[in-house]
Amino acid sequence: MKLELRKVSWSKALSEETPAYSAQVWIDGRHFCDVSNHGQGGCDCQYPPKGMTNSDFRPLLEAMEARIKAEFPPETVDVGDGDGRTFTMEQDLESLCQKELYRLDLAKTVKRDLAKKVMWLKDGKQWSVKIGAAPLDQLIPRLKAKYGIEKTLNEMTLDEAVAALEKAA
């Protein structure tokens, strides 16, 4: 299953406990629904696309939730209290949408940062050096030699760089 968010509007200033956003949800290349969250800790609201009634949409949404549960295994999440305690969370449309929202935000940040810095990962940490007057084709080999880097994020596609950062996190 390929889930995309399109026409995303995220108000970080209004996001309190959950992201305050709205977007179109596209699944496998088709507009499935519209989604929004007010950012105050509540669940996402899913709405049918234009031209579809709510009574026609609800069975499709239930079928999609069942498909997600079948295709995506439960995720083990760290409680974050420092004691190493975890809990298991079932995947659903809301969790996938919010993961995609954060991935899109990370991609935007990485794209902006790569225009100003040479970035790489080493020993599970992110490192960077501001791009100065030296051209990248001269700067990158010097940094690779100095720090023992195999490949910088600048030499990857944006998707590869985002995936590498997500994996390191």
pLDDT, residue 3, reads 97
pLDDT at 169: 77
Element (H, E) at 145: helix 136-147
Query: 3-class SS at 55?
Result: helix
- How far apart CA 110 and CA 153 sit, in angstroms, is 9
What is the per-residue pLDDT across 107-121, written as a single tens digit (0 to 9) for each?
A: 999 999 999 999 999
> How many angstroms separate the CA atoms of 47 and 75, rounded?
26
Minimal CA–CA distance to 92: which of 122, 71, 116?
Answer: 71
Edge-to-edge strand ranges of the sheet holding 45-47: 3-10, 20-27, 30-38, 45-47
**Residue 47 pLDDT:** 97
* Tens of pLDDT, residues 37-79: 999 999 999 999 999 999 999 999 999 999 999 999 999 988 7
Query: With contact defined as beta carbons under 8 Å apart, do 132 and 116 qualify?
Result: no
| pLDDT tier for residue 9 given thresholds of 50, 70 and 90 | very high
Tens of pLDDT, residues 125-136: 999 999 988 888
